[in-house]
C-alpha cells in the first residue's frame, strides 16, 4: 500500500523503511512488559518480513539501458528524426536480378515499443527477394532505439515519428505495411493529412483499436487461438522476481504510474523477458498450432519496454474518435484479418466501415494474429496478398468481408 501511495519513491525504500520501522515499533510496544526473550520473539517475524520485502527494493538488473547486440545479417543504422526520436533502422534492398517495385516499402512493427522479432526480419527479407526496397525501424524506446522520457510515449508521437521517418527517407510517398499496433499507427496516420501525404498504399494488418471509442468496444474474437493450450514459454521470467513481479503487476492494475520511482524505465526494459509475455505469444497462433509455435525471437534480440507500451495503449484509450478524419481518407488501403485472431473483430471492421479508401479485405485462413510466422506456407501466402495489392493486381483471396458483410461477419464469430 505504501509503494502505491509513495509511487515507489527511492526504489521502494521509502515504503520499506516506513513499514519496517512501524513494525519494529509495534513489536516493541506489544512486548514492552515481556522479558528480552519475549521481545525477541515479537521482533523475529518483523525482521523476517523486512528481509523478505527488501527484495522489492534491490535491483537485480542494471539500471542503465543495455541494448540488444547488432544483428549479424543486417546493418543497424541510427537515424535522428525531426521529432527528437533516435531510432534503429534496418534496410533490405531488393534482390538483384528480379523486377523491382518502384516505391520503398516501410514496415511498422507491432508491440508497441519492442524490438522487431527475428520472424519479422525473415519476412522482410522475403519481400526484399521479391523486388521490394524494404525499410523498417524500431519505435523510439524499443529494440535498439533510444529511450524517450516516459511522458513522451503517446500514440500521436508514434504517428509523428513515422511522418518524420518518411521525411528523412526522402523518396516520395511510400508503401506501408503496418502490423498490429503498427497498423494502428498507420490507420491514425491516414486520418492525418500531413502524415497521409507520405503514404502511397497502405496495408493495415491485424489492427488493434484505433481510438478511445473503438478501444471500449467489447466484441467477438476470431476462431480459437492457442492461448491456454500451448505449453508455457521456456526461459526465465522477471515477473518471478519480487521486485519486477510487484512493479509490472501494479502497473498493469493501474495502481502504479508508468513513470514510477520503484523501477525506472531502463531497468524495466533490461529485466523484461520473452517468457514474461506468457500466453500473449500463444494467442497469436491458431489452436491447431498450439504444440508447434515457433520461437519468434532470440534472447539476444528480444526487447520489450512494458511501461512505455502500457502508456501508449492508455493514450489510445484516452483519445477521441478519429472517425471524422478517417472518413476523408483517399489513400488506397487494404485490410488483413486473421482467422484465429485474438483481436476483437469490431476493432478491425471499424476501419473497414469508416475508411472509404479501403479497397479490399483479405481474410487469411489458417493463421492467427502473427500471420507471417514461418509455419507451412504462411509467409508465402501473406506475401502474395500484400504484393498483389501493392502492385494493384487481382487479389489471391476473395474480397471478404466487404462493408456489406460486416454484420454477418461479426455474427459468425459468436
DSSP assignments along 198-217, one per residue: TEEEEEEES----SHHHHT-
* Per-residue pLDDT band at 278 (split at 50, 70, 90): confident
> How confident is the model over 157-211, as pLDDT tens digits?
999 999 999 999 999 999 999 999 999 999 999 999 999 999 999 999 999 999 9
Q: Using CA atoms of 264, 266, 270, 276 in order, give the dihedral in degrees to the nearest 10.
A: 50
* 63-101 per-residue burial string, b: 16 or more CB within 10 A, e: under 16: eebebbeebeeeebeeeebebebebbbbbbebeeeeeeb
Strands 174-179 and 199-205: parallel
- Of residues 312 and 33, more confidence is placed in 312
- Of residues 42 and 213, more confidence is placed in 213
> How confident is the model over 319-348, as pLDDT tens digits?
999 999 999 999 999 999 999 998 999 999
> Please, where are the H alpha helices in 12-109?
13-30, 36-53
DSSP 285: S
- Per DSSP, the three-state class of 412 is coil
The pLDDT, as a whole number, for residue 28 is 84
Q: Report how far residue 211's alpha carbon sits from residue 346's, in angstroms, rounded to the nearest whole number.
A: 12
Q: Which residues contact 327 (CB under 8 A, 6 or more apart)?
A: 354, 355, 356
The dihedral built from the CA positions of residue 146, 152, 156 and 157, taken in this order, carries a sign that is: negative
The pLDDT, as a whole number, for residue 414 is 62
Task: Burial-class residue 291 by CB neighbours within 10 Å (0-12, 13-18, 19+).
Answer: exposed
Side by side, which strands form the sheet with 77-80?
77-80, 86-92, 133-138, 104-108, 174-179, 199-205, 333-338, 358-364
Return the ∠ at Cα 117 (arms to 111 and 123), rounded to 5°: 110
pTM of the model: 0.94
**Considering the chain, what is the average pLDDT of its residues?**
94
Tell me what percent of the residues of the chain surpass a pLDDT of 90: 86
Across the range 257-275, mean pLDDT stands at 94
Long-range Cβ contacts of 252-257 (<8 Å, 24+ apart): 252/310, 255/4, 256/3, 256/4, 256/7, 256/8, 257/7
Amino acid at each position: 500500500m505504501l509503494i502505491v501511495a509513495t509511487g515507489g519513491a527511492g526504489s521502494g525504500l521509502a515504503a520499506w523503511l516506513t513499514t519496517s520501522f512501524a513494525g519494529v515499533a509495534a513489536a516493541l510496544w506489544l512486548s514492552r512488559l515481556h522479558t528480552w526473550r519475549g521481545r525477541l520473539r515479537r521482533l523475529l517475524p518483523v525482521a523476517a518480513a523486512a528481509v523478505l520485502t527488501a527484495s522489492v527494493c534491490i535491483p537485480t538488473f542494471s539500471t542503465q539501458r543495455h541494448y540488444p547486440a547488432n544483428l549479424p545479417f543486417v546493418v543497424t543504422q541510427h537515424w535522428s528524426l525531426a521529432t527528437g526520436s533516435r531510432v534503429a533502422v534496418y534496410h533490405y534492398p531488393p534482390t538483384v536480378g528480379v523486377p523491382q517495385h518502384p516505391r520503398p516499402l516501410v514496415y511498422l512493427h507491432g508491440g508497441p515499443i519492442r524490438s522487431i522479432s527475428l520472424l519479422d526480419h525473415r519476412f522482410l527479407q522475403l519481400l526484399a527477394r521479391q523486388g521490394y526496397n524494404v525499410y523498417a525501424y524500431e519505435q523510439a524506446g524499443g529494440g535498439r532505439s533510444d529511450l524517450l522520457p516516459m511522458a513522451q510515449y503517446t500514440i500521436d508521437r508514434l504517428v509523428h515519428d513515422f511522418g518524420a521517418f518518411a521525411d528523412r527517407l526522402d523518396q516520395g510517398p511510400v508503401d506501408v505495411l503496418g502490423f498490429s499496433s503498427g497498423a494502428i499507427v498507420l490507420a491514425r496516420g491516414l486520418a492525418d493529412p500531413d502524415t497521409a501525404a507520405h503514404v502511397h498504399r497502405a496495408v493495415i494488418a491485424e489492427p488493434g483499436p484505433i481510438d478511445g471509442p473503438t478501444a471500449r468496444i467489447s466484441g467477438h474474437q476470431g476462431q480459437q487461438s492457442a492461448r491456454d493450450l500451448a505449453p508455457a514459454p521456456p526461459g526465465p521470467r522477471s515477473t518471478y522476481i519480487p521486485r519486477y513481479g510487484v512493479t509490472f503487476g501494479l502497473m498493469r492494475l493501474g495502481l502504479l504510474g508508468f513513470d514510477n520511482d520503484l523501477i525506472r524505465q531502463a531497468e524495466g526494459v533490461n529485466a523484461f523477458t520473452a517468457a514474461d509475455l506468457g500466453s500473449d505469444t500463444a494467442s497469436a497462433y491458431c489452436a491447431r498450432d498450439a504444440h508447434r509455435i515457433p520461437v519468434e525471437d532470440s534472447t539476444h534480440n528480444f526487447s520489450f519496454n512494458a511501461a512505455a507500451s502500457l502508456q501508449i495503449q492508455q493514450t489510445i484509450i484516452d483519445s477521441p474518435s478519429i472517425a471524422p478524419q478517417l472518413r476523408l481518407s483517399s489513400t488506397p488501403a487494404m485490410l488483413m484479418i486473421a482467422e484465429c485472431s485474438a483481436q476483437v473483430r469490431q476493432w478491425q471492421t471499424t476501419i473497414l466501415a469508416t475508411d472509404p479508401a479501403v479497397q479490399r479485405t483479405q481474410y487469411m485462413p489458417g493463421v492467427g494474429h502473427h500471420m507471417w510466422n514461418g509455419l507451412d506456407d504462411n509467409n508465402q501466402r501473406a506475401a502474395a496478398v500484400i504484393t498483389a495489392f501493392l502492385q494493384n493486381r487481382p487479389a489471391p483471396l476473395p474480397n471478404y468481408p466487404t462493408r456489406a458483410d460486416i454484420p454477418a461477419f461479426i455474427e459468425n464469430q459468436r
